[in-house]
Structures are given as structure tokens and as C-alpha cells.
Amino acid sequence: MFIRDIIGQQTVKEHILRLIQENRLPHALMLWGNEGVGKLPLAIAMARYLLCSDKQDNDACGACLSCKQMAKLIHPDLHFVFPIVKNSTEPKCDDFLEEWREMLLEHAYFNYEQWIDKIGEGKQGQIYAAESDEIIRKLSYKSFQGDCKVMIIWLPEKMNVVCANKLLKLLEEPPEKTYFILVSEQPEQLLPTIVSRTQMVHVPCIAFDDMEAVVGTELARVANGNYVKALTMQQQTGSSKPHFELYRKLMLAVVMIQLPQLKAWAEQLHESGREEIKLFLQYAQHITRECFMMHFGLPAINYLEPHEQAFAAKFINYLNANNIEFITHTFAKAYEDIEQNGNGKIVLFDMGLQLMTKMKL
Ligand SMILES: [Zn+2]
């Protein structure tokens, strides 16, 4: 995670870079704000910059030993504290370090629920009392290779009281050359004495334009500055290749009025089961609207892959203000029929016939 990988947040990024470059970074900083705005990725990018031995103007170099270790999140001077589930009498973050790295490397934007689902579905997450000794042990070492150590504490509000009090002691008498980066969604739940010992930096919701550039207009509108939410919705509406292929085949059969192809298509999708059909029908409504948006020159489909964009550019000629409502309604109606146990083959074939009546050049 580099600073340039963080979505939007230009003001916060510049502020943090300045603090580091001018040697004014306090020993404890708190990045606080809503879920999905990029606080944790920002904390990691910040740690990378701090530990980098060849800092560039706006980001870490990416080539030094430190940066290489950061790429795998195995830098010996970087420590993490995060909520975990109870797996023993003395649960410690290190027990879950592999899963933690995996989660972060796969996608640095995730929320508390997604993390807990990964390590112990249905359980409660906490930072347990045993962690306080771990924190002290880790910070008692000299830094291994750089000038400093960094400890990122994700969601300190989940900290057990014993642990919180030990942390407070550490913040009062910080170990030498150690930076704490607290990442909080509910700073009001923390001990006021902890909060007062940190420099608070608010990370606002991701600005609409920044979000739109990554996920497109439609998702940006509903995501409300929360990238985790946008990602979840993107997965639900499914922009996956199989769905796109199905859509392309269907629309080809429809505009060419090829009944045998339509029939084969309906049978094929029917084979994949009810849930899959429903996912496809959701995707179909979504991508139809996205293609229609192209009429107005709106950059709504930034997140379409190149092959999808090429198809959409030709396909929009079949969409117009007179049929768009009808088409999306036809998909929605088919979805309802499938939900109410309609026969997949018949519902899908009939849907294709309906579309044929309204999609002519
Ligand atoms: Zn570097």
C-alpha cells in the first residue's frame, strides 16, 4: 500500500506527508472517521513512508529493503494490533497475523464485520488483555533496521480495559522513536485520556468525484463516500465476466431475432440454477442502465473492462429513451417470476421474446 493507492483524501495525504517531511509527526496520531474511507490503508501507507530509506517527495520509493518488506507486510519494525476472536485463554493478535496479512494484501479496504467473518464468523471481536504484554514486549526491542518503529492499532475502541490502561501508560511515556497510529471509527468510546494524548486527524468520506473515478457514477451515488460499501455492491450486482458473456449472447440473439440461439441460451442459464439466474438478472438491469448512460456521454462505466466497453459502445445504438424503461422492467419482472418459482427455461425464453419486440434499430 502506497500513499498513491489511497482513493481520494488529497488534503489528508498532504497533511501527513508534511508532518513527516518537516519532522513534526507526533508520537501518537489518530486517524478517525467513518467506515470505508481508507483510514487503515492510509495508516499502512504512512508507515511505509516512515520506514522507507529513500523517501520520495510524495511517496515511498518502492525499491529499498524496507519497501520490499512492507510489500509483504513483514517489516520487523511494523507492528499491528487489531480486534481478534477468542481462540484460547490468552488470545493474541499474532495468532491471527497470517490471516491479517492475507486480508490486507488481498484488499486493504475492508470493515470490522468482514474481518471478523474471516477469522471466526458470528463471534465478537476484541483486543484482549493479553495483548498489552505483547505490545510492551514488541516495543521494548530496538528498531531492527530503520530509525523508528511503527505500531498501528486498528479499532482501539475494541480494546479491553486492562489493555487500554497499559496503552495509556505507553502514550504517556512513549518508548523512543516509536510512532503509534491509532485508526478509530468511534473515538468517543475511547478513554478520554488516550484521546487527549494523540493528535487527531479526521479522514472524511471519500469525495464523490474521487469515488466516481473508481467505481462509476451509479455506485458512487449510493456508496456515500464508503468504498467498502461500493465494493460490496459491485460484487452483488456482479460485473464478472461470465455474466457479461451471458448478457452479450442474449442481446445478440435478441437484436438479430435468432430464436434457436435464444432458446439455447435460456436452457444454458437454466442449468446453472435459480440463484445464478437471479444474479444474472440483477446484473442485466445494472449493465443495461450503464450502457444507456453512455448516450449522454457520462463516464459511468469506468469500471467496465475494455472488452465490455467495446461491446457497450456498439450496443447503445439499440437503447433509447423509449425502450430503456421497458427493458429494465422486463429483467425485473423475470427476476420476480424466478423468485416465485417460475420455470427458468420458460421465463428466460419469454423474457427474450419480450425484449425482441422493443429492441430494433
Ligand atoms: Zn523505500
User: If you write DSSP's letter for every residue of 169-226 in order, what string do you get?
Assistant: HHHHSPPTTEEEEEEES-GGGS-HHHHTTSEEEE--PPPHHHHHHHH-HHHHHHHTT-
Cα angle for residues 231, 3, 22 (degrees, 5° grid): 150
Element (H, E) at 79: strand 78-81
Question: Would you state the pLDDT for residue 337?
Answer: 94
Q: Which of 244, 245, 216, 246 shows the shortest CA–CA distance to 231? A: 216
Residue 155 resides in a domain: yes
Distance 74 CA to ligand 1 centre (A): 14
Burial tier of 299 (Cβ tally within 10 Å: 0-12, 13-18, 19+) = exposed
Predicted TM-score (pTM) of this structure: 0.69
Distance 3 CA to ligand 1 centre (A): 12
Distance 85 CA to ligand 1 centre (A): 34
Distance 59 CA to ligand 1 centre (A): 9
Q: Which 3 state secondary structure label does DSSP give 107?
A: coil
Distance 258 CA to ligand 1 centre (A): 58
* Same domain, residue pair 149 and 41: yes
Are the CB atoms for 52 and 67 separated by under 8 Å?
A: yes
Residue 219 resides in a domain: no
Cα angle for residues 206, 105, 177 (degrees, 5° grid): 80
Distance 294 CA to ligand 1 centre (A): 42
Q: What is the pLDDT along the chain (361 residues), one digit of tens a residue?
A: 899 999 999 999 999 999 999 999 999 999 999 999 999 999 999 999 999 999 999 999 999 999 999 999 999 999 999 999 998 888 999 999 999 999 999 888 999 999 999 998 778 899 999 999 999 999 888 877 778 999 999 999 999 999 999 999 999 988 888 999 999 999 999 999 999 999 999 999 999 999 988 888 877 877 889 999 888 877 766 545 678 889 999 999 999 899 999 999 999 999 888 878 888 898 898 888 888 877 776 655 445 666 677 788 888 888 888 899 999 999 999 999 998 888 999 999 999 999 999 887 6
Question: Would you state the pLDDT for residue 305?
Answer: 63
CATH number of domain containing 288: 1.20.272
Question: Would you state the pLDDT for residue 278?
Answer: 87
Distance 310 CA to ligand 1 centre (A): 39
* Same domain, residue pair 246 and 195: no
Residue 59 resides in a domain: yes
Which of 204, 230, 251 is the endpoint of a domain? Answer: 204
* Same domain, residue pair 194 and 340: no
Helix axes 274-293, 324-339, angle to 10 degrees: 170
* Same domain, residue pair 198 and 268: no
CATH number of domain containing 22: 3.40.50.300
Distance 181 CA to ligand 1 centre (A): 19
Distance 65 CA to ligand 1 centre (A): 7
Alpha carbon 10 to chain centroid, angstroms: 18
Distance 93 CA to ligand 1 centre (A): 26
* Same domain, residue pair 185 and 246: no
Q: Which residue type sits at 205?
A: C
Question: Would you state the pLDDT for residue 242?
Answer: 74
Question: Would you state the pLDDT for residue 361?
Answer: 62
Residue 354 resides in a domain: yes
* Same domain, residue pair 282 and 183: no
Residue 337 resides in a domain: yes
Residue 294 resides in a domain: yes
Residue 356, sorted as left (phi over 0), alpha (psi -120 to 50) or beta, turns out to be: alpha
Question: Would you state the pLDDT for residue 291?
Answer: 82
* Same domain, residue pair 51 and 111: yes
Distance 49 CA to ligand 1 centre (A): 7
Question: Would you state the pLDDT for residue 299?
Answer: 55
Distance 205 CA to ligand 1 centre (A): 29
Distance 20 CA to ligand 1 centre (A): 14
Distance 337 CA to ligand 1 centre (A): 57
* Same domain, residue pair 174 and 278: no
Distance 201 CA to ligand 1 centre (A): 24
- Transcribe 118-185 into DSSP letters: HHHTTPPPBB-THHHHHHHHHHHSPPSSSS-EEEEEE-GGGB-HHHHHHHHHHHHSPPTTEEEEEEES
Distance 111 CA to ligand 1 centre (A): 28
Distance 101 CA to ligand 1 centre (A): 19
Q: CA-CA distance, 283 to 262, in Å (whole number)? A: 18
* Same domain, residue pair 197 and 242: no
Distance 184 CA to ligand 1 centre (A): 27
Question: Would you state the pLDDT for residue 84?
Answer: 97
* Same domain, residue pair 31 and 171: yes
Distance 54 CA to ligand 1 centre (A): 5
Q: CA-CA distance, 44 to 89, in Å (whole number)? A: 30
Distance 63 CA to ligand 1 centre (A): 5
Range of the domain at 14: 3-204
Residue 215 resides in a domain: no
* Same domain, residue pair 13 and 149: yes
Distance 55 CA to ligand 1 centre (A): 6
* Same domain, residue pair 29 and 124: yes
Residue 213 resides in a domain: no
Number of domains present in the structure of the chain: 2
Distance 139 CA to ligand 1 centre (A): 22
Distance 69 CA to ligand 1 centre (A): 9
Distance 304 CA to ligand 1 centre (A): 33
